[in-house]
Amino acid sequence: MSRLFENIGHHTLFEESQTLGKIGFRVSGHSDARSQIPIHWKLTSLGDDRKGEITILPNIRDVYGDIGFKAFDRIIPTQISYSPATKMWSKHVEFHENFAVRFNATSGGSIFRDGMAEIKYNHAFGRLHAGVDLEIPLDRTIKSDISAQAKLDFDNYFVAANLPKIASTQVPEIKAGYEDKYFSAIVHSDDLKKFDFAVTKGTDANTLIGVKADLADNYKIGFEHVLSDSSELKLGVTNKDLLDIQYVKQFPGITATFAAQCSKFITTGQPQDVKVGLGLELDI
Judged by DSSP in three states, 139 sits in coil
Whole-number pLDDT of residue 72: 64
Q: Supply the mean pLDDT for the chain.
A: 91
Question: 60: closest CA among 51, 69, 52?
Answer: 69
Give the long-range contacts of residues 116-124, CB within 8 A, separation 24 or more.
Answer: 118/1, 120/1, 120/4, 122/98
What is the pLDDT, as a whole number, of residue 71?
A: 62
* pLDDT exceeds cutoff 80 at 138: yes
> pLDDT-based confidence at 108, cuts 50/70/90?
confident
104 CB-near residues (< 8 Å, 6+ apart): 88, 89, 90, 91, 112, 113, 114, 115
Minimal CA–CA distance to 15: which of 173, 191, 238? 238
- 63, pLDDT greater than 70: no
Helix (H, G, I), strand (E, B) or coil at 268: helix
CA distance 201 to 10: 10
With cut-offs at 50, 70 and 90, classify the pLDDT of residue 73.
Answer: low
pLDDT value at position 75? 83
Q: State pTM to two decimals.
A: 0.85
Q: What's the pLDDT at 245?
A: 97
pLDDT at 65 over 60: no
Q: How confident is the model at residue 27 (pLDDT cuts 50, 70, 90)?
A: very high
Range from 81-85, 216-220, 257-261 that averages highest in pLDDT: 257-261
Residue environment code for 188-223, b if the CB has 16+ CB neighbours within 10 A, otherwise e: bbeeeeeebebbbebeeeeebbbebbeeeeebbbbe
Please tell me which residue, 250 or 48, carries the higher pLDDT value.
250
DSSP H helices, the chain, are 60-64, 265-268
How confident is the model over 180-204, as a mean pLDDT? 95
pLDDT tens per residue, range 160-175: 999 999 999 999 999 9
Q: b vs e for 171-182, b when ≥16 Cβ sit within 10 Å of the residue's Cβ?
A: ebbbbbbebeee
pLDDT(96) > 90: no
pLDDT tens for 4-15 read 999 999 999 999
Mean pLDDT of 151-158: 97
Predicted confidence band of residue 86 (pLDDT cuts 50, 70, 90): confident
Please state which CATH number belongs to domain 11-283: 2.40.160.10
